[in-house]
């Protein structure tokens, strides 16, 4: 859902490129190292490096450096289940959706698989909970249907499973139109409730699969000073927990994109889930104070108890200078104060923080390279805005992905994309054109904004700003192509080769820092993607991802 529509919805619920001559290319040059202060403040400390050199938070010395999930992992919802932690994120138009991630130390996360396979609309700001012995995900869905009679109001669905790895049920419509951002809580009366944008509240049935009463206004928010620079009021993302004699309600205000200083984390409490709610005298708990900080638009928080019974806050933020990576997941230590409130201890999150004590580290992330020996939908690859049965377009045979063409341009091709959280990386793939197909490699933000290369066997098409460019790249004819894209901190260079040995640099370079939410008005990220259009198919093989220094 685009940011202005999302903000307006919530408010409404509350009453040149440099040209050069092509040349042969052997290997990309090395570049700068991302660094920050070490725990001692004396020597530079890089981010940790994981699979394929991917950026990760764990520094390997007892400290971590945010983000804990690098890349487009917005609206985190976290569940503690004994020694295990599970987390999932907004998926929007990317399916399979709602990948469940697992950790035992809050820093290193391993994907388990998706909870939502079949596309039903744009998925955002969910709540993952466990009640009794069953797992639930409460899911706001914005319909993507078009036409004069289409209902564009969001709806709340729920899926459930007996184990965290599923199988998950089909989505159940809770018949709550026009509201988003669910937060589940069990009240002092033993009844289950959903809090929603606004902030509204509705009681649930005991099985959590239907409502049991009307939707009513629950809380009107904390009013920040009018002179603060924010996107919009946007009272959203109610997350709740019960601790001691109080229920705590954590909300976001200020809008999730727009100015860097907009988004914030606020708190309120009550002795009853029905209120009245007392605003924290220390609000906002978290807010970006200046656009000179590393993390912008910090908000949408949940509290979670750590392995050593200490407490942490998980939320998202945009990285200064890298909004195109989307909203990344941040981990902030908190402490409970003598007056029964809590405060954040991580400051602006620009420096390493001691890892949660007593946690057990597991492998972090997943390889993005793929030899296509088997399907990896929902963990590595996601279709953008797919139709029903979209996965049937893809067949895996002889270590290759055979992708059937769809549409005429990448705009309507439902590209197959992989997330990235790195500042500097390269992706390479081999493709073979079959029949009357056009295939290619992109950096894809959404159907209006992308760039890359495509080839139909006779000529190459260059894409920029979401449409074919006038640039007539003199690539030869050919049915088998090797394509490479290098993104070096927003400077994007294309390369192509007929044999995978001698590479030609595309004569056009692009600067892509503008491929972000405040330009595209969409809560998305720029990610590598494969596409196939036309009447034929494209056989992709040997997709390689490499994070560079």
Taking phi over 0 as left and psi of -120 to 50 as alpha, with beta for the rest, 149 belongs to: alpha
Q: Does the residue 63 lie in any domain?
A: no
- 418 and 534 in a single domain? The answer is yes
Q: Does the residue 19 lie in any domain?
A: no
Four-point Cα dihedral 108, 111, 115, 120, nearest 10: 100
Query: Do 168 and 99 form a contact (C-beta atoms < 8 A)?
Result: no
Q: Is the pLDDT of residue 260 over 70?
A: yes
Query: Do 318 and 260 form a contact (C-beta atoms < 8 A)?
Result: yes
Q: Does the residue 359 lie in any domain?
A: no
Q: Is the pLDDT of residue 34 over 70?
A: no
* Tokens read off for 469: 């460019």
- 392 and 247 in a single domain? The answer is no
Q: Tell me whether strands 97-103 and 527-534 are parallel, antiparallel or unpaired.
A: unpaired
Residues in a beta bridge with 183? 195
Can you point out the beta strands (E) in 435-535?
A: 437-446, 449-455, 460-464, 467-468, 480-488, 491-497, 503-511, 527-534
Average pLDDT over every residue of 56-73: 98
Instruction: Please report the sign of the dihedral spanned by the C-alpha atoms of residue 446, residue 447, residue 452, residue 454.
Output: positive
Residues in a beta bridge with 86? 79, 102
Position 388 scores a pLDDT of 86
Position 29 scores a pLDDT of 34
Burial class (CB in 10 A: 0-12, 13-18, 19+), 138: buried
Q: Does the residue 14 lie in any domain?
A: no
Position 45 scores a pLDDT of 53
DSSP element (H, E) containing 3: helix 3-13
Average pLDDT over every residue of 498-519: 97
User: In the structure, what pLDDT confidence band is assigned to residue 215 with cuts at 50, 70 and 90?
Assistant: very high
- 306 and 434 in a single domain? The answer is no
- 409 and 537 in a single domain? The answer is yes
- 341 and 452 in a single domain? The answer is no
User: In the structure, what pLDDT confidence band is assigned to residue 46 with cuts at 50, 70 and 90?
Assistant: confident
Q: Is the pLDDT of residue 92 over 80?
A: yes
Position 10 scores a pLDDT of 40
CA 499 vs. chain centroid, Å, equals: 35
Tell me how far apart the alpha carbons of residues 66 and 68 are, in angstroms, rounded to a whole number: 5
Tell me how far apart the alpha carbons of residues 377 and 370 are, in angstroms, rounded to a whole number: 11
Percent of the chain, pLDDT > 90? 87
Q: Does the residue 31 lie in any domain?
A: no
Average pLDDT over every residue of 131-152: 87
Task: Provide the domain count of the chain.
Answer: 2
Per-residue pLDDT tens digits for 437-484: 999 999 999 999 999 999 999 999 999 999 999 988 999 999 999 999
Q: What is the CA radius of gyration of the chain?
A: 23
Residue 498's CATH number: 2.60.120.200
Q: Does the residue 425 lie in any domain?
A: yes
- 348 and 393 in a single domain? The answer is no
Average pLDDT over every residue of 369-382: 92
Task: Please count the other Cβ atoms lying within 10 Å of the Cβ belonging to residue 76.
Answer: 27
> 445 preceded by cis ω (within 30°)?
no
- 309 and 443 in a single domain? The answer is no
Q: Does the residue 349 lie in any domain?
A: yes
Average pLDDT over every residue of 398-406: 96
Only one residue has tokens 């595309």, namely 506
- 334 and 389 in a single domain? The answer is no
Q: Is the pLDDT of residue 435 over 80?
A: yes
Position 549 scores a pLDDT of 84
Position 144 scores a pLDDT of 79
- 79 and 127 in a single domain? The answer is yes
Tell me how far apart the alpha carbons of residues 99 and 117 are, in angstroms, rounded to a whole number: 10
Q: Does the residue 507 lie in any domain?
A: yes
Tell me how far apart the alpha carbons of residues 318 and 296 are, in angstroms, rounded to a whole number: 5
Average pLDDT over every residue of 146-175: 92
- 444 and 335 in a single domain? The answer is no
Measured at the CA of 101, the angle between CA 9 and CA 515, to 5 degrees, comes to 50
Query: Do 513 and 315 form a contact (C-beta atoms < 8 A)?
Result: no
Q: Is the pLDDT of residue 23 over 70?
A: no
Residue 302's CATH number: 2.115.10.20
- 406 and 457 in a single domain? The answer is yes
Average pLDDT over every residue of 282-304: 97
| pTM of the entire predicted model | 0.92
* Tokens read off for 514: 């503008």
Q: Is the pLDDT of residue 28 over 50?
A: no
- 156 and 290 in a single domain? The answer is yes
Q: Which domain holds residue 387?
A: 382-547
Q: How many CA atoms lie within 13 A of 542 on its CB side?
A: 11
């Amino acid at each position: 859902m685009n940011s202005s529509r999302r903000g307006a919805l919530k408010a409404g619920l509350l009453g040149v490129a440099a040209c050069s001559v092509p040349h042969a290319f052997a290997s990309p040059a090395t570049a700068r190292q991302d660094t920050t202060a070490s725990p001692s403040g004396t020597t530079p400390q890089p981010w940790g490096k994981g699979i394929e050199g991917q950026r990760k938070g764990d520094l390997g010395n007892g400290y971590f450096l945010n983000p804990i999930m690098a890349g487009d992992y917005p609206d985190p919802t976290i569940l503690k289940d004994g020694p295990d932690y599970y987390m999932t994120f907004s998926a929007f138009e990317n399916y399979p959706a709602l990948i469940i991630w697992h950790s035992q130390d809050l820093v290193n996360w391993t994907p388990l698989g998706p909870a939502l396979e079949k596309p039903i609309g744009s998925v955002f700001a969910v709540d993952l909970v466990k009640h009794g012995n069953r797992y639930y995900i409460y899911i706001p869905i914005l319909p993507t249907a078009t036409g004069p009679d289409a209902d564009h109001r969001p709806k709340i669905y729920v899926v459930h499973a007996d184990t965290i790895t599923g199988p998950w049920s089909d989505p159940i419509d809770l018949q709550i139109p026009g509201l988003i951002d669910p937060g589940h809580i069990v009240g002092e009366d033993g009844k289950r409730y959903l809090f929603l944008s606004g902030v509204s509240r509705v009681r649930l049935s005991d099985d959590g699969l239907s409502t049991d009463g009307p939707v009513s206004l629950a809380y009107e928010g904390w009013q920040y000073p009018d002179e603060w620079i924010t996107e919009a009021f946007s009272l959203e993302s109610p997350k709740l927990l019960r601790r001691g004699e109080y229920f705590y309600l954590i909300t976001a205000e200020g809008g999730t994109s727009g100015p860097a200083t907009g988004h914030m984390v606020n708190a309120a409490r009550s002795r009853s889930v029905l209120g009245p709610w007392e605003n924290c005298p220390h609000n906002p708990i978290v807010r970006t104070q200046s656009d000179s900080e590393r993390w912008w638009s910090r908000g949408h928080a949940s509290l979670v108890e750590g392995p050593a019974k200490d407490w942490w806050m998980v939320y998202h933020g945009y990285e200064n200078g890298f909004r195109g990576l989307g909203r990344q997941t941040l981990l902030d230590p908190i402490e409970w104060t003598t007056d029964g409130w809590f405060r954040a201890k991580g400051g602006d999150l620009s420096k390493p923080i001691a890892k949660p004590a007593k946690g057990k580290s597991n492998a972090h992330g997943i390889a993005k390279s793929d030899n296509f020996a088997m399907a990896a939908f929902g963990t590595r690859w996601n279709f953008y805005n797919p139709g029903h049965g979209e996965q049937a377009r893809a067949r895996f045979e002889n270590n290759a992905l055979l992708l059937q063409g769809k549409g005429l341009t990448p705009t309507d091709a439902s590209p197959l994309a992989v997330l990235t959280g790195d500042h500097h990386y390269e992706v390479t793939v081999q493709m073979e054109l079959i029949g009357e197909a056009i295939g290619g490699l992109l950096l894809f933000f959404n159907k209006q904004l992308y760039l890359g290369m495509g080839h139909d066997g006779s000529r190459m098409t260059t894409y920029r700003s979401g449409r074919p460019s006038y640039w007539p790249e003199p690539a030869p004819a050919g049915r088998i192509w090797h394509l490479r894209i290098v993104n070096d901190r927003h400077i994007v260079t294309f390369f192509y080769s007929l044999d995978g040995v001698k590479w030609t640099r595309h004569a056009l370079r692009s600067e892509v820092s503008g491929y972000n939410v405040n330009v595209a008005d969409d809560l998305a990220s720029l990610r590598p993607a494969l596409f196939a259009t036309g009447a034929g198919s494209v056989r992709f093989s040997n997709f390689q991802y490499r994070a560079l220094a």
